[in-house]
Amino acid sequence: MAKKEQNSNNNNNSNNNNNNGNNNFFNNNPLLIFVIFSIVTIFAFKAIFPEDQVGSETNANMQAFGQSTNKTIPYSDLKKMITSGKIEYVGIGNTQIKAISKMGTGQIVTYTARRVIPDETLISTLEKNGINYGGINEENILADILFGWVLPIFIFFAIWMFIAKRMQKSMGGGSGGILGIGSSKKMINSEKPNVTFDDMAGNKEAKEEVQEIVDFLKSPDRYVRLGAQIPKGVLLVGPPGTGKTLLAKAVAGEANVEFLSVSGSAFIEMFVGVGASRVRDLFEQAKKVAPAIIFIDEIDAIGKSRASGGPMGGNDEREQTLNQLLAEMDGFSTDAAPVIVLAATNRPEVLDPALLRPGRFDRQVLVDKPDYEGRIEILQVHIKEVKLGKNVDLKEIAKMTAGLAGADLANIINEAALLAGRASKDQVDPSDFKEAVERQIAGLEKKSKRISPKERKIVAYHESGHALIAEITKGANKVNKVSIVPRGLAALGYTLNTPEENKYLMQKHELIAEVDVLLGGRAAEEVFIGEISTGAGNDLERATGIIKSMATVYGMSDIAGLMVLEKRTNQFLGGQTQKDFSDAMAKDLDDHTKNLLNERYEIVIQKLKDNKVSIEQMTAELLEIEVISGERVREIITLNGGKVFVDEDLHSDAIVSKENITEKKEVIEEAKTAEDEKEETK
């Protein structure tokens, strides 16, 4: 315990030193520094270009007469003295006239009179009497201070403020430091959320994982007296739209603590050291309002592995920010001031290992896409303000939306409400929800898009081929709807195959079945039209990708055996692969892909020929009514002598037959009797 206290003191001292270095005299008094700078600049300018150089030429004649006494007289008396020849020299200003008496009269006197304007006879009188004259500078202390000091400082200050504001806007700087670059106050959203766990449906496991954080923030003494240490950081990982930010807000709302949220990209600026300064500022604010939760969204923006930059180095600013974050998470204690750091990312594989070690983000919570029950719960949350029709079944909507995230489900409900409002309905019907799901999956329906009868026929045969192969093939997703109405950007028709449940594993026969379904459209064009088209481009691309993945990633081919040829990355963002095989293996892989595609294509063609009547009937109905349901597809196949494959229910006990259960029971009972006999003989 003594070592821990010493280490924490050292960390605190280092943080204080850093803060003291950041809060120096120059950063705390920027205006005073600027005024001093302005005064020094003006003094230097006046030293280089003194005002006496301008005034020396005009006042030299006045000073040449030496010491004199000053006397103020009326302008009329001064003109009389000029006429009488008592004046030696006259200096003419804008408002005053100064005259020097002749030397022979005793003490030299400087007569000052206020000039009367206009007086055009003065110059002629001086020239008539042979008196020298010139101009003088009239000194005004107030004007000299105003125009020589105040005005330049004001102009400098205005320029400085303009530049500072422009730089703050362009860089997003706050109010701290010189120009406010280092502060993060304006970038931090501080609040006490009203969100609770009831507002976040689905992901029961994720809520259970963070429940102990809520308990610790509510009653930390219960854990401290037992010697337990709450995790300092919890990393929320998962695909986009699954509710990671909402979960973090729910933790703060359940615990009723301050919630400080900031984006990871807000720490990175063009100036080196700004990100580190903002990290320090963030933790300082959290300590002031403790107990609190710090939430850093998209932490991969600053938490990328430092080894990813290669031998030539990486981003110095990002690395300094990451180093400061690591130091801050080590430097504060959750016992004295409970501050817990939550972070969210879609790319946990790119984070620095030092960030994921115990004592920092030592716990990862997966916030995955919801399952069937989770989707029902999410739908129930989002329909609270929606007026539903009596025949709306959320279970049916949940079955149609397998694989969608919570954000997608919320968008579907909103889209259904918009469709009902557009049709001036009093409530949202099941048809609105079905159309909203199709919009989410396939895109917007384009009824105004005109296609020729020839193209409609090609599309009808194409989609009928997809639908039939999907229904008669083991492991394929069942058909929900077949349409030849254009949707989206390029689709002239579509076959909607929606599994009722998320699939986390796929067997080899299911992958082959998906390839067969994709090839069904192209095969139908060749069998029933006699010529192929460009409509199967995307289908062939997807089929090729599946077969290659079977060989390179899943070890489902003889070409590479169990060897993995590609590594998967960014699994939450669609997935990317990194190839790791030789040129010879690449040639074998291409040959394998080509041969397997041709093999499956011939099998699909034969299946279509065997079900020719069903295809023709489906195509005729599509050309007539444009849309048919999955039930109608199965009905057509059955009526024409075809066999619709009924898949096993993987989410019930039906996968294990009663015969297998009885056989297993008999084997277990025989083993028990054998063990009992051995014990009796002993």
CB-based contact 491:438 (threshold 8 Å)? no
C-alpha closest to that of 110 among 89, 139, 133: 89
CB-based contact 115:92 (threshold 8 Å)? yes
Written as six digits, the tokens of 372 are 């069937």
C-alpha closest to that of 293 among 250, 331, 351: 250
Q: For residue 599, how far is the Cα from the chain centroid?
A: 46
Angle CA(560)–CA(565)–CA(569) in degrees, nearest 5? 150
Written as six digits, the tokens of 158 are 């205005």
Instruction: Enumerate the β-bridge partners of residue 628.
Output: 482
Amino acid identity, position 462:
H
Residues 6+ apart with CB under 8 A from 477: 470, 497, 498, 499, 514, 517
CB-based contact 197:250 (threshold 8 Å)? yes
CB-based contact 51:87 (threshold 8 Å)? no
CA gap 191, 612 in Å, rounded: 65
CA gap 485, 444 in Å, rounded: 10
The H or E element containing residue 567 is: strand 566-569
CB-based contact 607:600 (threshold 8 Å)? no
Amino acid identity, position 224:
V
Written as six digits, the tokens of 34 are 């600027």
Residues 6+ apart with CB under 8 A from 38: 152, 153, 156, 157
CA gap 440, 342 in Å, rounded: 31
* Catalytic residue (choose from 463, 514, 526, 621): 463
Instruction: Please list, residue by residue across 84-107, b when 16 or more beta carbons sit within 10 angstroms of its beta carbon and e when fewer do.
Output: eeebbbbbbeeeebbbbbeeeeee
CB-based contact 87:102 (threshold 8 Å)? yes
CB-based contact 478:459 (threshold 8 Å)? no
Pairing of strands 479-483, 494-497: antiparallel
CA gap 639, 465 in Å, rounded: 17
For the chain, give the longest Cα–Cα distance. Answer: 161
Residues 6+ apart with CB under 8 A from 174: 168, 180, 182, 183, 184, 185, 186, 187
CB-based contact 578:567 (threshold 8 Å)? yes
The Cβ-side half-sphere exposure at 664, using a 13 Å CA radius, reads: 6
Instruction: Enumerate the β-bridge partners of residue 495.
Output: 482
Sheet with 339-345, strands from edge to edge, namely 189-191, 258-263, 292-297, 339-345, 233-237, 361-366
CB-based contact 15:165 (threshold 8 Å)? no
Q: What is the DSSP string of 327-351?
A: HHHHH--TTTS-EEEEEEES-GGGB
CA gap 538, 544 in Å, rounded: 10
CB-based contact 150:241 (threshold 8 Å)? no
Whether 373 is catalytic: no
Active site residues per annotation: 463
